[in-house]
Amino acid sequence: MGEKTDSVIPIDSDSGALPMRACSSPPADDKATWRDARDQLVRLAYRFLWNHDQAEDVAQDALIRAWAKADELRDRDQWWSWVCRIAVQRCRERGRIRQRRSKHEEKLRHELREGRKPDEPAGRERHEALPKLLDELPRRQREVLVLRHLQGMAVAEIAGVLGLSPSTVRVHLMVGRESLRRLILLRHPEWLEG
């Protein structure tokens, strides 16, 4: 059993993503900081919705609401968790009426792959199918897996965002991974057995 770090995925400094902990209180009147927070929220929402336009809407909506209600927040250290919670809630609402990924979105992904070192066919298939498998998981399991593995949050941060205890988050993570494993073995066993 290997050593693991605090976060599964280190925040990529090249991407301009804001480390979660650096944004624990409301940003001052600093456009760059607000933009970083917005970019981070777009990433979070995109990993739930798989649609960039909708992700931008969610990020903007969450930030506007957070900005308007910032004075009502009792614990300002929880600001970022609170904003993320608003964003996740918005994603849930939009997820119910979610549309398929736009053609432009598909083209963008295709261009990205063209510009990069070509993926092996199995990798391409996975990138298309894995989000759909995640969508099939129960809501809580999907949310904790997305926040942990795709957004790179630690268990305590996920607990803050979803309003759950850390132990509950750990249980959802374990059950979620096992559910995903069962789905993969059912639909794409070659991903795990190859």
Binding site for other proteins (CB under 8 A): 1-6, 8-9, 12, 15-17, 39, 42-43, 46-47, 52, 55, 102-105, 108-109, 111-112, 116, 123, 126-127, 130-131, 145, 148-152, 155, 170, 173-174, 177, 180-181, 184-185, 191-192
Min. distance of Cβ 161 from other proteins in angstroms?
Answer: 15
> Exposed, middle or buried: residue 161 (CB in 10 Å: 0-12, 13-18, 19+)?
buried
Residue type for position 25: S
Distinct helix (H) and strand (E) counts, the chain:
9, 0
Nearer to other proteins, 59 or 86 (CB): 59
Instruction: Measure the CA–CA gap between 189 and 186, rounded to whole angstroms.
Output: 6
Nearer to other proteins, 86 or 146 (CB): 146
**Closest by CA position to 38, among listed 58, 52, 22:** 58
Min. distance of Cβ 73 from other proteins in angstroms?
Answer: 27
Min. distance of Cβ 152 from other proteins in angstroms?
Answer: 7
